Chain A
Amino acid sequence: QKEVEQDPGPLSVPEGAIVSLNCTYSNSAFQYFMWYRQYSRKGPELLMYTYSSGNKEDGRFTAQVDKSSKYISLFIRDSQPSDSATYLCAMSRNILTGGGNKLTFGTGTQLKVEL
């Protein structure tokens, strides 16, 4: 079983829709949670970063972390065609407890926002 599970999609939604992307994880040592966006043939771009349970909002994006359920989500409001990309969740342990800077990624969810 993988440490981080993510539905690969593809997910297709109409423009303006609310998109919900999710990951579950099994390692309770993960303390930092990130969402990256990756366009085709490009490197991942950091979207959201959080290190505690609860919600964090940035413009149209909201990241949600539930450590008790080992579940994280990314919501995209008013989705646009330019949001079409692969969304990757990533997690890491605390550097001070030996995690270093190793990120463990989900497989990524491919999102297409259609006009």
Chain B
Amino acid sequence: KAGVTQTPRYLIKTRGQQVTLSCSPISGHRSVSWYQQTPGQGLQFLFEYFSETQRNKGNFPGRFSGRQFSNSRSEMNVSTLELGDSALYLCASSLDFYTGGADQETQYFGPGTRLLVL
């Protein structure tokens, strides 16, 4: 089974620009979560989408947004980029929790998109 894929893998942008990152979850997974990883803050939760609806949100400004499509693929968007947005953005997918069982909550991560803001 193919893993979580993220595109692009690397991105360089300048301050003020916006960026869109894409994530394709593992086949059959309906929950997609996004995380930001920086050396200073570590891994921080951005938001989670389930069945095209945002189910959970972290403490990030409104410049960070996301969406999920009917095929469970997800995109996140960052508008008006700041230098501090430079990070590794990770996407993780997990099974539909309605199926029951502990493994439903196991999240599998993609390789990430490394964003550099100049």
Give me the interface of A with B, judged by CB distance under 8 Å.
32, 34, 36, 41-46, 49, 51, 88, 90, 92, 95-96, 99-108
Closest to A104 in B: B45
Which residues of B have CB within 8 Å of A101?
Answer: 31, 33, 48, 50, 55-56, 92, 94, 97, 105, 107
Q: Is A102's CB under 8 angstroms from B90's CB? A: no
Which of chain B's residues 6-57 have a Cβ closer than 8 Å to chain A?
31, 33, 35, 42-45, 48, 50, 55-56
Q: Which of B45, B50, B55, B102 contacts A103 (CB 8 A)?
A: B45
Q: Is B109's CB under 8 angstroms from A102's CB? A: no
A108 CB to closest chain B CB (Å) equals: 6
Closest to B114 in A: A41
Q: Is A46's CB under 8 angstroms from B56's CB? A: no
**Range, interface on chain B:** 20 to 34
The 0/1 profile, CB within 8 Å of A marked 1, for residues 61-97 of chain B is 0000000000000000000000000000010101001
A46 CB to closest chain B CB (Å) equals: 6
Q: Is B42's CB under 8 angstroms from A49's CB? A: no
Q: Which of A41, A44, A49, A102 contacts B106 (CB 8 A)?
A: A49
B28 CB to closest chain A CB (Å) equals: 15
Q: Is A102's CB under 8 angstroms from B97's CB? A: no
The contact sample of 20 A-B pairs, CB cut-off 8 A, is A32-B102, A32-B105, A34-B107, A41-B114, A43-B110, A43-B112, A44-B43, A44-B90, A45-B109, A46-B108, A51-B102, A88-B42, A99-B56, A101-B105, A102-B33, A102-B45, A103-B33, A105-B42, A105-B44, A108-B43
CA gap between A46 and B97 in the complex, in Å: 18
Which residues of B have CB within 8 Å of A90?
Answer: 43
Q: Is A108's CB under 8 angstroms from B97's CB? A: no
Closest to B47 in A: A102
CA gap between A49 and B112 in the complex, in Å: 22
Which residues of B have CB within 8 Å of A106?
Answer: 42
Q: Given A43-B110, A44-B90, A88-B43: A102 and B102 within 8 A (CB)?
A: no
